[in-house]
Structure formats: C-alpha cells, structure tokens
Amino acid sequence: MNEDFLSFVWRYQYFDATNLRTESDEQVQILRTGQLNTDAGPDFADARILLDGMEWVGSVELHVKSSDWDVHQHPSDAAYESVILHVVWDDDRPVKREDGTLIPTLTLNQRVKPAVRERYERLLESKEEIPCAPQFREVPRLQKIAMLDRVLLERLDAKAARVTALWEQNQRDWEETTYQWLAQYFGFKLNTPAFLRLAQIVPLKVLQKHRTSGLQIEALLFGTAGLLPEHQEDEYVKNLRKEYQFLSAKYGLQSRQMGTHEWKFLRLRPAGFPTVRLAQWAVLLQREAGLFASLTAVEDVTDLRQMFRVSQSNYWKKHYQFGKQSAAEVPALGKDAADLLIINAAVPLLVAYARQRDQSTYLDRAIRWLEQLSAEKNHILRAWASLGMRVTTASDSQALIEWHNQYCTRKGCLECTVGAFLVRPV
C-alpha cells in the first residue's frame, strides 16, 4: 500500500461511497474530490464535502496511516490548516491540528475492492520491461493512442523547458542559445558535456567574426578544446597553433582552455571521434550565418537534414585524429546522425520557440518533422514493438521512449491511461 494508490482511489472515487462516515461518526458526502496538487502542501485542493449536512470547502490530505500526519510534521505547517478531511487507508490514531481540534478522518481500507489493489500490486511487482506487458493487448486502442499523444507532448515540453532555461541564461538570445544547444548534440551522447562546455567558453559572436576563415574557426575550437598537439610539425597543425595563439590572446581564452581528458574517444568509431565532429561543427558554423534563423526558416525536414549533413575540411577527410591518417576517407556527417540532430536538438528548439511566442505553427512543424523521420532503434522500442505497438516514425519512438522512461521504469502505472484502465474496478 502506498499514497499513490490511495490518491488514485480518491481521485477517481474507486471505493464504496455508500453511507460514508468519519472515524468520529460524522456523515460524509463528497461533492468534489478536489484538484490534485503536485507541489508542496495538501494532496488535493479546492475539495467540497458535506459533514453532517454542513458544507466545507478546502483541502484533502492523504496518508497510508493517520499517524503519518504527525510523522510528516503537518501540525506545525500552516499550509495544512486548510485541510477539511484526512483520507487514510488505516486509522491507527486520531490526529489534531495545532489548535487542538480533531481532523475529520475517513478510512478506506474496507471500501476498496481487493481485486483493485491486487491488480495494482501485480504491476508493481512485475519484472517486465513494460510492467503491464502480459495484459497490454487487452487494453483498448483508444487508451493507448491517448497515452501516446500525451507522452509525446510531455517529452517535447520537458526538452523545450531545458532550451528555455538555457535561453534565460543567455539573456534571451536565441542565436547564442541555438549555438550552445546544437553544439552539445554534436557530441552525440559521449561528448555532449564537452561540446556544451566548449560552446559556452567560445561565444558565437567571436566565431562569427571569423566566418571568412575556416582555419581560424577550427583553431579557436580545437585550441580551446585542448586538442591541438604541441609538438606535431605538419603544416596544418602549425597553422592552427599559430592562429590559436593569436586569437586566444585576443579574446582572453587561454586561461579557459579545456583538458584532453574531457574528450572521449573510447568505444567510438573513427567517424564519430570528437575531432571529426568538431571539424564538421566548424564547417556548419562557417556556412550558416545564423543557425537559429536558418532553423526556424526551414519548412521541409529534407532541407533541414541537408543543412546538417556537413562535410569536414580536407585534412579531416583523411585523418580522424591529429597525425593519424585514415586508410579510407572519413565520411561526412551521415543521414542517421543528421536525423538524430533534428530529433534531439532542432525539434526541442522549435518547440521552445513556439511556446515562447505562443505560435502553434512552429509546434505543428516540429511534430511534422518527427512524423517524417524514421524511428530510432533500441531495446526499449523493441519491447514496445513486441507488444504490437507501431514503431515507424520518430514521433512514435519519442513518445514510446518517454512512456517507458517516465512511467514504466518508475512504476507510475496509476498515472498512465493504460495502467489506470487495468487497475480500475470492473
């Protein structure tokens, strides 16, 4: 038994409500269960009940045991003075407010069908990747579609919130924010923190002053990243060192140089080495005068993909690290990598902009991009596919990943439309 289950039972009134009486024998009639409160304070706000015929409006607090009221130190918290009803599973002792008045307590343990609790406990104890996997196919398609639509928006809004936080840090500068946000995703998981740190050290406005010189942009990036070798003497490296020494002094970057330990090469294919990705990033920065302006202007996802499919400078077509020549030509940033940049970077940026501007056209475009891209592939999506779920587009995969991560792994079954359907009284 936990408070999540009690909240679920109270919220949807999945209990026998005939002849309700408090522990002090007051007759209870529920007019409104109240609004679920996800912040600090009582569990449900703005509830309406009748106690012995008198109407009360206020908050409802839930506990497994009534004594939890004192354990959680509610008597000394002014936020709980508005509580008009204490709903518990077990009443192990009467509880009072700080002024000594008794709090009306309603006990539910004899009013909930045992089968409802048993179905919930079965989900909690499940070892399946998707806890409800054995019963999943029994659930109507409508419930699944409702959940998919919901979790897709939840995922987009959660990512957009991170973009907005970065935008606030950057004094609401969309170009600088886009530069930093996109930079981290050029790190492709392993090097995400390093790419973001580099972008926050070298401002976009500095790089934009050198858009006419790819060598200078590379010098600023590789030098500040701490990846320029000190003793290598080929012409390209010597030129990079020379440019970096001058530019880093000019812009005060020398003291902020990163360490080589911040960059990860292990478990990566040479084409995914951070050196290659930095070279590709440098080309994109040189080519696009304004990343944010370009991103918001693009309508078709094919054009956006083409924008990201950059080919690195000549040296990096033949090398994957400084001084280490490749037997075969190092490829440009591929279609799959470009699609990941759209899914993880471009879409959240567009959603954040849509929310800030309150313009649904940008949100619609972001969702349309996802619907036009193929789904990612991983063990989570294979688990969903085995249950008969369609995993065709990036819209499908993003929704299903969110569903799994935020509900299935956390056993948030009662907040899931499928879980709630399976647990409900029948």
Contact yes or no for 291/175 (Cβ under 8 A): yes
Query: Does the residue 120 lie in any domain?
Result: no
Nearest CA among 330, 335, 290, 289 for reference residue 308? 335
Position 233 pLDDT exceeds 90: no
Query: Does the residue 117 lie in any domain?
Result: no
Q: Are 43 and 58 in a shared domain? A: yes
Q: Are 35 and 130 in a shared domain? A: no
pLDDT of residue 99: 85
Q: Are 380 and 349 in a shared domain? A: no
Number of domains into which the chain is organized? 3
Residue 281 exposed, middle or buried by CB count within 10 Å (0-12, 13-18, 19+): buried
Task: Out of 69-78, 80-89, 190-199, pick the least confident.
Answer: 69-78
Confidence band, pLDDT 50/70/90 cuts, at residue 97: confident
Type of residue found at 39: D
For the stretch 327-374, pLDDT in tens is 999 999 999 999 999 999 999 999 999 999 999 999 999 999 999 999
pLDDT of residue 326: 94
Q: What is the mean pLDDT of residues 241-268?
A: 96
Q: What is the mean pLDDT of residues 137-150?
A: 97
Contact yes or no for 86/75 (Cβ under 8 A): no
pLDDT of residue 1: 86
pLDDT of residue 231: 85
For the stretch 365-424, pLDDT in tens is 999 999 999 999 999 999 999 999 999 999 999 999 999 999 999 999 999 999 999 999
Position 100 pLDDT exceeds 90: no
Q: Are 96 and 161 in a shared domain? A: no
What is the C-alpha to C-alpha distance for residues 421 and 139, in angstroms, rounded to an integer? 7
Position 44 pLDDT exceeds 90: yes
Confidence band, pLDDT 50/70/90 cuts, at residue 195: very high
Query: Does the residue 62 lie in any domain?
Result: yes
- Which tokens hold the place of 312? 């690195």
106: containing domain: 3-112
Q: Are 243 and 357 in a shared domain? A: yes
Q: Are 286 and 204 in a shared domain? A: yes
Query: Does the residue 260 lie in any domain?
Result: yes
Mean pLDDT of the chain: 97
Query: Does the residue 242 lie in any domain?
Result: yes
Query: Does the residue 98 lie in any domain?
Result: yes
Percent of the chain with pLDDT over 70: 100
Query: Does the residue 119 lie in any domain?
Result: no
Query: Does the residue 57 lie in any domain?
Result: yes
Among 326, 346, 368, identify where a domain stops.
368
Q: Are 189 and 251 in a shared domain? A: yes
Q: Are 224 and 304 in a shared domain? A: yes
